[in-house]
Amino acid sequence: GNSVTQMEGPVTLSEEAFLTINCTYTATGYPSLFWYVQYPGEGLQLLLKATKADDKGSNKGFEATYRKETTSFHLEKGSVQVSDSAVYFCALGGSNYKLTFGKGTLLTVNP
Amino acid sequence: DADVTQTPRNRITKTGKRIMLECSQTKGHDRMYWYRQDPGLGLRLIYYSFDVKDINKGEISDGYSVSRQAQAKFSLSLESAIPNQTALYFCATSDFGTSATDTQYFGPGTRLTVL
C-alpha cells in the first residue's frame, strides 16, 4: 500500500536559516504529492503540490520537486521567518483520491 | 466566512456517552472526509464519502459511524466514547472532476476529550 515517511522533528531554526524537511514515499501508480501546513490552533492548509515526476511545486518561498527516481518530495525554503513556525505534513494522493499523510514535522523558527 | 466549518470546536465528555461532530461546507464539493490527528501519528482517515449515497470506511473506522445528510453536511458519531478516542478531529472536502480533484480543504478541527 501507499506510505509516506517524513523527517521527524522537532526542527528548530533561527530566522533566515535554510530549511529542508525530507519526505519519501512508496506508492503504486503515479501519485500526486503534497505539502500541507498546520499553523497553531488551525486546520491543515495546502502549501504546495506536484502531480507528476519532475514537477516543482512552489508557494510562499517554499519549494518541493517530485523525484520519481528517488521517490522523494523534500520541502525547502531558502530563508525561514518566525511566521513559518508550524507543523508540516507530506502527503500522497493515490488513484482513489484518498490522501496518505506522513506523521508531521514541527518547525520552530526563533527570532 | 470559512468554507469548511466544524462544530463544536471543543468538547469534553465522559466514557460511554454518544457524541456527534458536525461538518458543513460551502465549497460545493462532492467529497467529504473525516480524519483524526494524534501526536506523532499524523492524520488517519476514519470515513469518507464521495457523494450523498456513497459512504466508505477508512483505516480506523471501528467505534465510529457517519451520516451524509446532504452534499454540504457530513457528521461523525462516536456511539459510546472511550478515552483512546481523545484526539483532534478534522473534516475535509475535495472537488470531483477537476484538476484539483485530489486537493483537500480542511476545517479548523474539533478537539475531543473523553474522560
The band of A104, judged by pLDDT with boundaries at 50, 70 and 90, is very high
Tell me the average pLDDT across A3-16: 94
Question: What pLDDT does B100 receive?
Answer: 55
> pLDDT by residue (tens digit) across B28-38?
999 999 999 99
Residues of B in contact with A89 (CB under 8 A): 42-43
Q: Is A13 helix (H, G, I), strand (E, B) or coil?
A: strand
Kindly tell me if the per-residue pLDDT of B1 is higher than 70. no
The band of B98, judged by pLDDT with boundaries at 50, 70 and 90, is low
> pLDDT by residue (tens digit) across B53-89?
999 999 899 999 999 999 999 999 999 999 999 999 9
Q: What phi and psi, each to the nearest 5 degrees, are found at residue B59?
A: -80, -20
Residues of B in contact with A49 (CB under 8 A): 103
Kindly tell me if the per-residue pLDDT of B110 is higher than 60. yes
| Residue A42 to residues A46, A63, B2, B7, B108, Cα–Cα distance (Å) | 12, 22, 12, 14, 5
**Separation CA B72–CA B27 (nearest Å):** 8
The band of A1, judged by pLDDT with boundaries at 50, 70 and 90, is confident
How far off is chain B from A86, nearest CA to CA, in Å?
14
Query: How many other β-carbons are positioned within 10 Å of the β-carbon of residue A46?
Result: 17
Instruction: Using DSSP bridges, classify how beta strands B10-13 and B110-114 pair: parallel, antiparallel or unpaired.
Output: parallel
**CB half-sphere exposure, A47, CA atoms < 13 A:** 27
Kindly tell me if the per-residue pLDDT of B97 is higher than 70. no
Instruction: Using DSSP bridges, classify how beta strands A11-14 and A105-110 pair: parallel, antiparallel or unpaired.
Output: parallel
End-to-end CA distance of chain B: 33
Kindly tell me if the per-residue pLDDT of A3 is higher than 80. yes
How far off is chain A from B17, nearest CA to CA, in Å?
26
> pLDDT by residue (tens digit) across A37-81?
999 888 899 999 998 899 999 999 999 999 999 999 999 999 999
| Residue B111 to residues B89, B94, B104, Cα–Cα distance (Å) | 6, 22, 20
Q: Is the dihedral of CA B35, B36, B37, B43 positive or negative?
A: negative
Could you say which of A42, A97, A101 has the minimum Cβ distance to residue B102?
A97
**CB half-sphere exposure, B24, CA atoms < 13 A:** 7
